Amino acid sequence: MHQRERNVPKCGAALGLSVFLIFGSFQSEASGAEPTQAQKYTYSWDSLKTAPVPQWFDDAKFGIFIHWGPQSFWSSPWGSYQNPEKAYPKLKETFGKTPPEFGYKDVIPMFKAEEWDPVAWADLFEKAGAKYVVLVGEHHDGFQLGDSTRTDWCATKIGPMRDLIGDLGKAVRAKGLKYAPSSHRERHAGMFSDQRYRVKCLPSRDIAEEIKRDPKAAGHRPMAANQWRGDLWHPSLESFRRGFHLAKE
């Protein structure tokens, strides 16, 4: 495997690492007010648009939003299983194998982040003038960059074998920046439609064969299923909603 595909530089952007620079402010009808623990919201735009934007966030103007994870190592177009004609040749070139013999689950242990230096990242963000940092702690693949008691698909148990979320948080806060990891486990709105992911749209035989060979790749077991329990997830979602306001230096 090429060196550029194996290692993430200590500083700056790497293959598959997306860093979004966030400019401007977000306005709401209660812009500048501070959230309160007692405030409740409903699942409607009329309710949500009254959620206050913390004054510090209104003033910050510039932040860093980071996408990083095993997908940095996958080296294949988005939607690989949906578009095998486009993706599989690249996988064959990079790894010498394609699904169902070799799949995304097999790439995760290769994501080591062995040269990653969170202090160097934090130093770069500070020098760039950023006031806050958001790391996508879990993307649509379900792999968590921190520690988890609810799944084995996390950075402390496979791949890096360290808490990437926590390590970056310590480095960023040491520079005086706000920090709050986010969860993107919830699918995009389009994924709630049955049009996009009907079985006939997928190379289902490859996926089924991968799961047959390695059942844990499916993730449909009690440990993973419990992730969707509202009583377990609500506190973490609430923490994310209020994360910037409550973040401690």
Dump pLDDT digits (tens) for 25-63.
444 445 445 555 567 888 788 888 888 888 888 899 899
Boundaries of domain holding 214: 3-246
Tally of residues, the chain: 249
Residues 116-130, mean pLDDT to the nearest whole number? 97
pTM of the predicted protein model:
0.68
75: pLDDT confidence band, cut at 50, 70 and 90?
Answer: low
**CA-CA distance, 62 to 132, in Å (whole number)?**
7
Domain total in the chain: 1
Alpha helices (H) along 96-148: 104-107, 118-128
The residue with greater pLDDT, 159 or 188, is 159
**CA-CA distance, 222 to 57, in Å (whole number)?**
39
Measured CA distances, 13 to 67, 76, 121, 149, 201 (Å): 10, 17, 10, 30, 34
Measured CA distances, 237 to 111, 165, 228, 243 (Å): 27, 16, 12, 9
17: pLDDT confidence band, cut at 50, 70 and 90?
Answer: low
pLDDT of residue 46: 87
Residues 76-88, mean pLDDT to the nearest whole number? 76
pLDDT of residue 74: 76
pLDDT of residue 154: 92
Dump pLDDT digits (tens) for 183-239.
766 555 444 445 444 444 444 567 667 777 777 766 544 444 444 444 444 444 444
Average pLDDT, the chain: 72
Residues 74-86, mean pLDDT to the nearest whole number? 74
Helix (H) / strand (E) element for 133: namely strand 132-138
Residues 81-99, mean pLDDT to the nearest whole number? 87
182: pLDDT confidence band, cut at 50, 70 and 90?
Answer: confident
